[in-house]
Amino acid sequence: MGEHVPDELRSERQELQRLLMVEPAGVWRRHRGTAPIDDDRPAGQAPISNRERRILGDPEVRKNVEILAARLADTMDCHRRAPLPEAATKRLAELVGEAREALSLETLLDTRRSVEELLLECADLSLLRQWTAAEYAEEEATLPTWRRTYGPEPPALLDQPDPPDQAVQVTRMRLLRLVAERFSLYRPLRARRKLRTIYLRYLVPVVLVFGGLLGVAIAREVPSAAGTVLLAAAAGASGASLSGLLRFRDEVKLGAQIREFLAFYLAQVIVGGTFGLLVFLVITAGWIDLGGNAARIGAVSFAAGFSEPFALGVVAKMTERTSS
């Protein structure tokens, strides 16, 4: 049996667990307006700041804190089976402590990579098997998986009860390579996602303002049709919202897709409403003959919001009529 777990590892894991118990900013539990009651840090330690609470409100931050806590638990179990080098355990504790003190997603990601690489380098056969089994079981993810990188054949470490040293080292190197590839790809992926979200904040208000102005202009031009204008816009937005919901159910499965879906879903609803107004204009112009029936206009507007190809087909017909 190994030695007792170093105090540094135990202490850092407890600190990570305390962070996970803290309520994020904005959802503090209060008793009739009193101060938050979820900070149980020992006396003499600085309380959780509002900045840290805001950071802990990010699900991705909490996920990485949970993963770091799990990696420290793996380290402690490994050390109990056979003592790890003292330099390795101290370095692991230092890395986690530095990330906790300078809490941010970027710091956590850097620390997680360093911790995982250091732990893999000194992991015993039991931990390598556990890690490899978890990686091999993962079939779908945004970033590279074991099967996508190395193929569907089960790793030798899982097939053989007493694998040779060469198989152990090959597995160790493959896990290290997988960690490196994921973190090298994740940063640009996250940067692109963040950039798209930032630009979307400017695009959505523009579409909303001009779509609203278009609706006001149509209502003023045809005062008696104001209700039909509202019907067309609402039907288009409803069709787009239903289409987005079905897409969320059938296509959006990965964590990164879920995190960025809401903003684009709201934008799509606005686009659907604008398509509904376009349908009203095309019908009012007589380019599509529905006999002036409001229900038919609403149905076609819903279809335009639900299906972009349908709406683009309406635009194509409009272009053909104006160019002929």
Mean pLDDT across 220-242: 73
Same-domain status, 181 and 68 = yes
Percent of the chain topping pLDDT 70: 77
Per-residue H/E/C for the chain: CCCCCCHHHHHHHHHHHHHHHCCCCCCCCCCCCCCCCCCCCCCCCCCCCHHHHHHHCCHHHHHHHHHHHHHHHHHHHHHHHCCCCHHHHHHHHHHHHHHHHCCCHHHHHHHHHHHHHHHHHHCCHHHHHHHHHHHHHCCCCCCCCHHHHHCCCCCHHHHCCCCCHHHHHHHHHHHHHHHHHHHHHHHHHHHHHHHHHHHHHHHHHHHHHHHHHHHHHHHHHCHHHHHHHHHHHHHHHHHHHHHHHHHHHHCCCCHHHHHHHHHHHHHHHHHHHHHHHHHHHHHHCCCCCCCCCHHHHHHHHHHHHHCHHHHHHHHHHHHHHHHC
Same domain? 173 vs 25: yes
pLDDT at 219 over 80: no
Structural domain contains residue 14: yes
In this structure, the answer to whether residues 182 and 245 fall within a common structural domain is: no
**Are residues 153 and 47 part of one domain?**
yes
**Residue 252: band (very low, low, confident or very high) from pLDDT cuts 50, 70, 90:** low
One domain, residues 171 and 229: no
Structural domain contains residue 210: no
Mean pLDDT for 162-178 is: 90
Final residue belonging to a domain, choices 189, 209, 234: 189
Do 255 and 170 lie in a common domain?
Answer: no
Residue 209 lies in a domain: no
Note whether residue 50 is domain-resident. yes
Residue 184 has pLDDT above 80, yes or no: yes
Same domain, 25 and 129: yes
**Of the segments 120-129, 250-259, 277-286, which one has the largest average pLDDT value?**
120-129
**Residue 202, in any domain of the structure:** no
Q: How many CA atoms lie within 13 A of 21 on its CB side?
A: 12
pLDDT: which is higher, 285 or 125: 125
Residues 241 and 108 in one domain: no
User: Are 180 and 256 part of one and the same domain?
Assistant: no
Domain-located, residue 31 = yes
In this predicted structure, what is the pLDDT of residue 292? 63
- The answer, yes or no, to whether residue 262 has pLDDT greater than 90, is no
Share of the chain above pLDDT 90, in %: 23
Domain boundary among 137, 167, 189: 189
- Look at the chain and report how many structural domains it folds into: 2
Contacts of 180 (CB under 8 A, 6+ apart): 113, 117
Place 204 in a pLDDT band, splitting at 50, 70 and 90.
low
pLDDT class for 27, splitting at 50, 70, 90?
A: very low
- Asked whether residue 35 is domain-assigned, the answer is yes
Verify that 184 and 232 share a domain, yes or no.
no
Domain that holds residue 230: 222-323
Same domain, 179 and 317: no
pLDDT at 237: 84
| Listed ranges 79-93, 198-212, 215-229, 242-256; the one with the highest mean pLDDT | 79-93
Regarding whether 130 and 85 lie in a shared domain, the answer is yes
Is residue 215 assigned to a domain?
A: no
